Amino acid sequence: MPSRILILTNGHLCRNPRVVKEASTLGRAGYEVRVLHVQTSSEFEALDADLARSAPFQREAIDLRPHAGAAPFARRLRHWLAREACARWGLASAGALGPAGSLWRRARAWPADLTIVHNEVAHAVGLRLQRSGRRVAADIEDWHSEDLLPADRARRPLALLRRNERELLHRCVHTTTTSHALADGLFARYGGRPPEVITNSFPLQPLTGSLQPATPPRLFWFSQTIGPGRGLEEFFAGWQLCRQPSEVVLLGAIAPGYEAVLLGSLPPDRRARVRMRPLVPPAALPDAIAGHDLGLALEQSFIVNRDLTITNKILQYLNAGLAIVASNTAGQREVLAAGPAAGLIVSLDQPALFASTLDAILVNRDALAASRRAARRLAEDIYCWEREEPRLLALVARALTDRA
């Protein structure tokens, strides 16, 4: 009988590629895998259902969608009350992080041999499962207590998150994270067992066209939300000083009023070279990226999590053969240290220097093409899911056999 693995996460599978890659790898390896997640959107639920239809794992969802009935309403109300109690009176509980009670009851009902927990509410549930005798591993994709802008952190249960993070490193059979920089940071802060590194890389996609740059070169950036705190304002401050022509495409859902703020400082001729694209389904994203020349990885180093992690973004650019334009963070230095020819590390706080650095590669088509080829080689040699799967499978096999 195959070992049973339960994976807990908050949010939709279509917006959680790390969980999908993990569950698919384990399912294909012969484990019985179930993913328990949270749904908040009917649109995303349809994408989840389509994604899971042919997946080698089962899924089960905690429904928090509006207008979905009394039970989802009650779950949302409990979550809202817990968040308000935390923000107003400092009464932090796992319920402030998400539907902890519902996740706990569903997780406890399935007799898993190993439970892997992703994201903050699942971390809290995983620790409760561990204390009840379950074998639990944790993935720390983000350092939740050290994430977000200061204004967004004000209502967060930071002390609870830090206690949970410490306990994960000390009590779980193993923890994983996304970069050596983040693993070192977590271990230095909390001790325990050093996290293992499983990057956010993706299966190698076929290259459907030439890696020769377009005329003018096309720069690309994506995220779920196009909004403040993502380095875009600093990028445009430098980009508008460039002498060499280029075009910029931003893909994501635009925060209300943000497009006018972001583009308002650009002269009309520059504004005409910027295009906004709506979100696309996960399966369509690789093709959307591949039609460009340079990928913008504009993480903010003053946010500790964003400084240390390696995001999906930079690794998907490498996979598609885009040269990298990366802000100066520890995680992104880690990537480009493995392949310096694949791109540039830039200082977003020095617009004139940034513009001259970008101009140097925009004006030299041969250098840009060489950088694109180096980016793809870096994905093939190091940053692809094919390189990560054996590490994940070895960790899980060890977790299932190690009774210490």
Phi, psi of 351 (to 5 degrees): -55, -45
What confidence tens digit (pLDDT) does each residue in 79-92 have? 767 676 677 777 67
CA distance 367 to 33: 46
**What CATH number does residue 195 fall under?**
3.40.50.2000
pTM: predicted TM-score of the whole model, two decimal places: 0.92
Task: Kindly state whether residues 323 and 355 are assigned to the same domain.
Answer: yes
d(CA 68, CA 71) in angstroms, rounded, equals 8
Residues 134 and 10 placed together within one structural domain of the fold? yes
d(CA 337, CA 46): 40
Amino acid in the structure at residue 62: I
Residues 166 and 315 in one domain: no
Position 366, amino acid:
D
Tokens of 285: 């994203």
Same domain, 20 and 149: yes
**In terms of residue numbers, what domain contains 185?**
4-201+386-401
208 part of a folded domain: no
pLDDT band at 404 (very low <50, low <70, confident <90, very high): very low
For residue 102, give the H/E element and its range: helix 100-109
274 φ, ψ (degrees, to nearest 5): -110, 130
Percent of the chain whose predicted confidence (pLDDT) is above 90: 80
- Residue 43 shares a structural domain with residue 186: yes
Tell me: do 186 and 324 sit in the same domain: no
- Do 250 and 322 belong to one domain? yes
Instruction: Give domain status of residue 9, yes or no.
Output: yes
Looking at the 3D structure of the chain, how many domains does it have? 2
User: What is the pLDDT, as a whole number, of residue 403?
Assistant: 54
Query: Are 362 and 280 part of one and the same domain?
Result: yes
**Size (the chain), residues:** 404
Residue 90, both tokens? 């400092």
CB 226 within 8 A of CB 253: yes
**Is 238 inside a domain boundary?**
yes
Contact criterion met (CB below 8 Å) for 194 and 187: yes
| Same domain? 184 vs 250 | no
Q: Are residues 355 and 272 in the same domain?
A: yes
Report the distance separating Cα 35 and Cα 51, nearest Å: 13
What does the pLDDT look like over 133-160, one tens digit per residue? 999 999 999 999 999 877 777 778 899 9
Q: Are residues 93 and 228 in the same domain?
A: no
SS3 content of the chain, % helix, strand, coil (to 5): 50, 15, 35
Q: Is residue 211 a part of any domain in this protein?
A: no
